[in-house]
Structure 1
């Protein structure tokens, strides 16, 4: 057994159906963890992420939750916190984005993004984290963003939410580190997912982004896999309150 071995652990990954969430769930399973995948549209059986996890020799459970529905998120937290088998790892990946200039940005878009990207992760983490604190161990991983550090363009709600995730990561780490619970965040760079499709489809924006990335390419979902395993493992036992960019060098430019 190595410090990166997750054998016997139970990990919950939100937004697990595709993209970054699916890549993280697959990596955690390959490291030994059983997976509960959560998504608003996750199939009860036969999903791609389920196949990934089962292929890795681990168990998979699918839960469907709409993170835009506050009551559904509270129910999910109550369910997970009350189970006989405790959650060892919580990956808060589910998210959404709305693009519109600030002067035209609808209230509804702002409220949806803040609910899905900030309030829902807090509510879920509060429930699951309480049981981790009581047990004296656990790993919580938020998915932040480069816009936890910068403002972006035409995404004021998303930038506000992801700045909030960075602050929440530090706030919870301050409270829960003494109780053996590690709270950290990964800040993905420009990853080729549905959320960045509009940018990749815009030749000018895509070129400007690529010119800024020292690695010279868009990231892939699998580029986040190793970081997720690290933060979920005993190898990160003394890592608390960190927002770790995985960005091809963007923040160093």
Structure 2
């Protein structure tokens, strides 16, 4: 047991969590910080202070930078403030309701954030990860494995993220970079407010989860820590479903 705990010690490691300002990404960022990592996060707001009142956001002990990942030029231009990286977690994501994703502009925007920006960020940090024989972890979604009637862009982009994890996993293993992913189920966040703001809808969703509860950011952080650690040294190109069993039926 003690040896396993040591494997989950990230002291002297640098981690960047894109989308780490709130929700699942923030839970992941804080989990790395609690285990000794030097953790950087990217978010969309001008400064960390702008998240002070945000539920599910704790930027204490984290280094914050603003970046609109939907803008490829902004990703390329941002100076990260470090020259070495051990773990890159890509947790950016948006969803649009009211059938906005059926409109070309809405569809394109969601895909730009949820899929295209993954490649932009991965490309930006490839050399650093190669130098440190690091890990890249892509956060997708259970939605990537099934149809989502009202959100075609979200489902398609998350399916693309799962496929990208496989393709980069195969290609970059030769560079010493392990690429894997985690697909969360239902976790309360800004993205899932349409479910959790409706008690009847939330109750119905809960009935479909064999584990009998909704997920938490910490539930997703666990598999991420595993995939970033030496415990997963022979795991490449895989996406772990962390959904309480919801995807089983």
Whether TM exceeds 0.5 here: the answer is yes
The question of whether the paired residues in 2 share the 8 Å contact of 1:136 and 1:179 is answered with no
Distance 1:153 1:207, change over 3 A: farther
* Counterpart for residue 57 of structure 1: none
Is it true that 1:22 corresponds to 2:26 in the alignment? Answer: yes
1:128-156 CA distance string (max 9 Å, x none): 123323x2601101011001111122000
* Counterpart for residue 71 of structure 1: 73
Give the whole-Å Cα distance in 2 for the aligned partners of 1:84 and 1:93: 20
Is it true that 1:226 corresponds to 2:230 in the alignment? Answer: no
Number of residue pairs aligned between Structure 1 and Structure 2: 240
1:99-149 CA distance string (max 9 Å, x none): 2448x822111111011110111111012123323x260110101100111
Measure how far apart 1:44 and its partner are. 4.2
The question of whether the paired residues in 2 share the 8 Å contact of 1:10 and 1:86 is answered with yes
Is it true that 1:105 corresponds to 2:102 in the alignment? Answer: yes
In structure 1, list runs of 5 or more residues that go unmatched. 55-59
Alignment of 1:1-253 (within 5 A): 2-41=6-45, 43-44=47-48, 49-51=58-60, 54=61, 60-76=62-78, 79-80=79-80, 85-101=83-99, 105-133=102-130, 135=131, 137-253=133-249
Does the residue aligned with 1:192 lie in a helix, a strand or coil?
Answer: coil
Please report the TM-score for the alignment, with normalisation by the length of structure 1. 0.88
The question of whether the paired residues in 1 share the 8 Å contact of 2:180 and 2:227 is answered with yes
Distance 1:9 1:44, change over 3 A: same
Does the residue aligned with 1:195 lie in a helix, a strand or coil?
Answer: coil
Give the whole-Å Cα distance in 1 for the aligned partners of 2:136 and 2:247: 23
Distance 1:4 1:239, change over 3 A: same
Please report the TM-score for the alignment, with normalisation by the length of structure 2. 0.89
In structure 2, list runs of 5 or more residues that go unmatched. none
